[in-house]
């Protein structure tokens, strides 16, 4: 351990209670993609108070930011925060199922949790700044606020706008539990390609539908024929895409296709054709060829669905990313810092909370209720070998995350620190989602993740700033992997506009107060309703 490490570790240790409180603040905000107004403002305020020069709304994204602090000439290194939550996962920080006070179960909640990602990374950047100030280390720290990770929306925009230009290294960190990538760094097999596209069906000329105007004895009667409209187009595409899914790609390579229907157009049942309906498709593939095959099918389905329903269709990208670029020198260096720090450890208070959850579910409490891997390190080469056991030899990438876009601009490492997960008793089918969501909000359970991440990232940043050989090795491999014919250009134009203007879920303020856009409703959430039903 170097003196720089000692300084950073001491800062994290001295501020653990503060970091815990900060984490709970972001966890409770729980704002979904593109609507993280309070979360982004909070980060901007903290960084400004620490002396960083902060650009709020960076890249034309209202809930993004770019912060910079320099201690003189030297390398420029970066990390980032995420802070978006997931609709439909509202859970209190408690040992039983239930939404946060005053909210619907359909409101957002932190699932991964990105709250621990953002505060772990913020703790790291502030600990690094402290060590640099105390020891005179030169260089520049950059810290990005990355909204909308759940739709992989912002990192590609920051890249296209030049925010990653000139960086010497980037550390990408995520709380994780998907074995074997638990308390390790990625080696060869990084995240793959991701694409997300919104199809908007618009019926703006219903009067040209060929039904005769005289098909009803009363003009414009409720019984008159009408154009099929946007809802029909959307449902036709939905069913077409389900029917053609098996024909898009071969059943190998771990690809996936998901959809979400956005709320749009009129919300009443009337004898008017729906004028607007929108569906969002997102797909994950190991490579770009596979991603293109899915795109071709979806686009054809949209065109046919629009024609059938007497609509036009507008196609708009949400995100389109390249497969990630590995960097073994950075992976090795970061893992050595993780070894120095050690895996998260859970104390008596965390164990008691975990056992209370097991009791709530009718299980016999376990003496060691946490998944053993959460408290163990796994060397990157060993994790890689285990991961490859489940993949065909030709597959080079697995699953997706938008850090991959950063990996094309500068040497990038992907660090995983375990988030708390419970061990599964023999014969038990698996825990409901509320369990892991709640664990992410309970300080004794999630604070170890934040502290380990902060110390590991800070140590790595300081090594990069003080030992030129690490950056030289990382840059050499980066050039080999991205140079010449290996280079893949960005898949979207430089002036790509993120779809912040679309109808993403959010909190709203009305005469009824501030609430989630889907009000709490007992009959929808399986709770006893007041009064007759």
What is the per-residue pLDDT for 533?
A: 35
What is the per-residue pLDDT for 72?
A: 96
Alpha helices in 100-252 (DSSP H): 114-135, 155-160, 230-248
Q: Are 375 and 343 in contact (CB under 8 A)?
A: yes
Domain 194-321 adopts which CATH fold? Alpha-Beta Plaits (3.30.70)
Residue 270: is its pLDDT beyond 60? yes
H or E stretch at 368: none
pLDDT tens, residue by residue, 472-502: 999 999 999 999 999 999 999 999 999 999 9
Beta pairing class for 140-146 and 412-418? unpaired
Do 3-192+324-486 and 194-321 agree at the fold level? no
Q: Are 91 and 100 in contact (CB under 8 A)?
A: yes
Q: What is the pTM of this model?
A: 0.94
CA-wise closest residue to 254 among 396, 384, 112, 383: 396
pLDDT tens, residue by residue, 28-67: 999 999 999 999 999 999 999 999 999 999 999 999 999 9
Beta pairing class for 53-56 and 513-516? unpaired
Alpha helices in 202-280 (DSSP H): 230-248
d(CA 235, CA 246): 18
CA-wise closest residue to 19 among 387, 463, 336, 448: 448
Domain 3-192+324-486 class, CATH top level: alpha beta
Residue 114: is its pLDDT beyond 50? yes
pLDDT band at residue 532 under the 50/70/90 scheme: very low
Surface-to-core class of residue 477, CB atoms within 10 Å of its CB (0-12 exposed, 13-18 middle, 19+ buried): middle
The domain locations on the chain are: 3-192+324-486, 194-321
pLDDT band at residue 531 under the 50/70/90 scheme: very low
pLDDT band at residue 215 under the 50/70/90 scheme: low
State the sign of the Cα–Cα–Cα–Cα dihedral 245, 283, 505, 436: positive
Q: Are 9 and 38 in contact (CB under 8 A)?
A: no
Query: From residue 397, how far is each of 45, 288, 484 by CA, in Å?
Result: 37, 11, 21
Three-state DSSP at 176 gives strand
pLDDT tens, residue by residue, 294-303: 999 999 999 9
pLDDT band at residue 216 under the 50/70/90 scheme: low
CA-wise closest residue to 25 among 13, 2, 41: 41
CA-wise closest residue to 445 among 173, 148, 115, 121: 115
Residue 276: is its pLDDT beyond 90? yes
Q: Are 34 and 153 in contact (CB under 8 A)?
A: yes
Give me the residues paired with residue 230 across strands.
none
């Amino acid at each position: 351990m170097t003196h720089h490490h000692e300084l950073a570790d001491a800062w994290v240790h001295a501020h653990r209670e503060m970091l815990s409180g900060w984490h709970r603040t972001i966890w409770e905000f729980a704002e979904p993609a593109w609507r993280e107004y309070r979360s982004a403002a909070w980060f901007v305020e903290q960084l400004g108070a620490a002396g960083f020069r902060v650009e709020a709304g960076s890249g034309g994204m209202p809930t993004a930011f770019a912060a910079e602090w320099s201690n003189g000439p030297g390398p420029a290194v970066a990390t980032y925060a995420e802070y978006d939550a997931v609709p439909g996962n509202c859970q209190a920080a408690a040992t039983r199922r239930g939404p946060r006070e005053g909210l619907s179960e359909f409101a957002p909640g932190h699932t991964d949790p990105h709250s621990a990602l953002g505060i772990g990374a913020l703790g790291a950047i502030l600990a690094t700044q402290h060590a640099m100030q105390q020891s005179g280390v030169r260089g520049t720290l950059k810290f990005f606020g990355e909204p909308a990770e759940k739709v992989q929306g912002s990192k590609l925009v920051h890249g296209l706008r030049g925010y990653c230009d000139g960086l010497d290294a980037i550390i990408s960190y995520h709380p994780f539990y998907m074995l074997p990538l638990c308390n390790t760094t990625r080696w060869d097999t990084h995240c793959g390609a991701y694409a997300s596209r919104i199809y908007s069906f618009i019926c703006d000329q219903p009067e040209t539908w060929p039904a005769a105007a005289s098909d009803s004895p009363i003009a414009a009667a409720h019984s008159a024929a009408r154009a099929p409209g946007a809802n029909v187009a959307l449902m036709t595409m939905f069913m077409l895409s389900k029917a053609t899914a098996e024909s898009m790609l071969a059943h190998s390579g771990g690809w996936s296709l998901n959809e979400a229907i956005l709320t749009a157009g009129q919300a009443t049942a009337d004898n008017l054709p729906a004028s607007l309906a929108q569906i969002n498709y997102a797909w994950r593939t190991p490579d770009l060829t596979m991603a293109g095959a899915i795109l071709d099918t979806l686009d054809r389905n949209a065109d046919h669905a629009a024609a059938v329903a007497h609509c036009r269709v507008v196609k708009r990208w949400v995100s389109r990313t390249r497969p990630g670029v590995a960097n073994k020198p950075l992976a090795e260096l970061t893992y050595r810092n993780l070894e120095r720090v050690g895996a998260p450890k859970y104390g008596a208070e965390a164990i008691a909370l975990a056992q209370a959850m097991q009791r709530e579910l009718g299980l016999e409490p376990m003496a060691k209720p946490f998944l053993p891997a959460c408290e163990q390190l796994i060397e990157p080469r060993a994790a890689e070998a285990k991961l490859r056991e489940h993949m065909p030899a030709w597959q080079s990438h697995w699953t997706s995350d938008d850090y991959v876009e950063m990996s094309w601009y500068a040497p990038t490492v992907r660090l995983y620190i375990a988030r708390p997960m419970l061990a599964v008793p023999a014969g038990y089918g698996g825990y409901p989602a509320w369990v892991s969501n709640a664990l992410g909000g309970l300080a004794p359970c999630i604070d170890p993740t934040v502290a380990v991440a902060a110390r590991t990232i800070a140590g790595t940043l300081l090594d990069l700033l003080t030992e030129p050989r690490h950056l030289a090795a990382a840059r050499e491999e980066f050039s080999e992997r991205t140079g010449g014919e290996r280079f893949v250009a960005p898949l979207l134009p430089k002036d790509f506009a993120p779809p912040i203007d679309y109808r993403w879920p959010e909190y709203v303020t009305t005469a009824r107060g501030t609430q989630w856009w889907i009000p709490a409703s007992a009959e929808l959430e399986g709770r006893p309703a007041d009064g007759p039903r």
